[in-house]
């Protein structure tokens, strides 16, 4: 069974600085998808960025980028120029390529942004 | 678009009572997912539907939990009887399709359930 591990329960960053959140996963599949979701205090789950495993190029969305290391099964999220609105819980999630529909989530990392 | 709509946003009930959570997916989405979030277990998929048909309910914890999707625009998650350990935030999410893994799931705001 696939698993997703986020080893950092909490992280903090100074406003305007860069922070990296870690995620590792375990799977025997060769084709899959990885996501980072943001959950602010409002509880709403918001997709931040997605990565297809077959793509070697790391995904980027504005200030958010990933470092996808397929062999190491690592999928970290880098937030550049951190803003106060980035404070939230961040979840790494895995989705296999099969028609299962299942998203498997990590335990989450709470990010604090200090002014 | 209004996004995924869930009701109620908060529910407080007493142990043994029946609880019904409701979800309206985004129009045109044919996949619907129910998740539960707790501090201890994180986010867990309970059940998901495709074209109103339950595909996988292996995450449903017990027979006390049941879910239905009578039509493309409405789903319910029912707990009967409720227990204190059912206290959690329940999310509904929808997706345009379940085929392929790269399709984003759009989440509702969640229902915070407290069972006393």
Nearest-neighbour CA in chain A from B72: distance (Å) = 17
Q: Cβ B42–A107 below 8 Å, yes or no?
A: yes
Is the pLDDT reported for residue B100 higher than 80?
A: no
**Cα separation, A75 vs A111, whole angstroms:** 17
Q: What is the mean pLDDT of residues A44-68?
A: 93
Q: Cβ A106–B42 below 8 Å, yes or no?
A: yes
Is the pLDDT reported for residue B98 higher than 60?
A: no
Q: What is the mean pLDDT of residues A75-86?
A: 97
State the pairing for strand pair B42-50/B53-56: antiparallel
Is the pLDDT reported for residue A98 higher than 70?
A: no
Q: What is the mean pLDDT of residues A8-17?
A: 96
What number of C-beta contacts closer than 8 Å exist between A and B? 55
Is the pLDDT reported for residue A101 higher than 70?
A: no
**Cα separation, B59 vs A29, whole angstroms:** 21
| Better pLDDT: B30 or B64 | B64
> What single-letter DSSP state applies at residue B103?
P
Average pLDDT score, chain A: 93
């Amino acid at each position: 069974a696939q698993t997703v591990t986020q080893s950092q329960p909490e992280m903090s960053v100074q406003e305007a600085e860069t922070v990296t959140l870690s995620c590792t996963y375990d799977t025997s599949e060769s084709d899959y998808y990885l996501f980072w979701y943001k959950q602010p205090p409002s509880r709403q789950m918001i997709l931040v960025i997605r990565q297809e495993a077959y793509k070697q190029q790391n995904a980027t969305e504005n200030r958010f980028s990933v470092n996808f290391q397929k062999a190491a099964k690592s999928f970290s999220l880098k937030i550049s120029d951190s803003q106060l609105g980035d404070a939230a819980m961040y979840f790494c999630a895995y989705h296999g390529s099969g028609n299962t529909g299942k998203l498997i989530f990590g335990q989450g990392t709470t990010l604090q942004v200090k002014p | 678009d209004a996004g995924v709509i869930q009701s109620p946003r908060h529910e407080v009930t007493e142990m043994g009572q029946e609880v019904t959570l409701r979800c309206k997916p985004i129009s045109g989405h044919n996949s619907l997912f129910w998740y539960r979030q707790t501090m201890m277990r994180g986010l867990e998929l309970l059940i998901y539907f495709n074209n109103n048909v339950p595909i996988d309910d292996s995450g449903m914890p017990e027979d006390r939990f049941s879910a239905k999707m009578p039509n493309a625009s409405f789903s319910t998650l029912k707990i009967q009887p409720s227990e204190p350990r059912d206290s959690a935030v329940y999310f509904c999410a929808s997706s345009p399709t379940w085929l392929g893994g790269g399709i984003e799931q759009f989440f509702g705001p969640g229902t915070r359930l407290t069972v006393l």
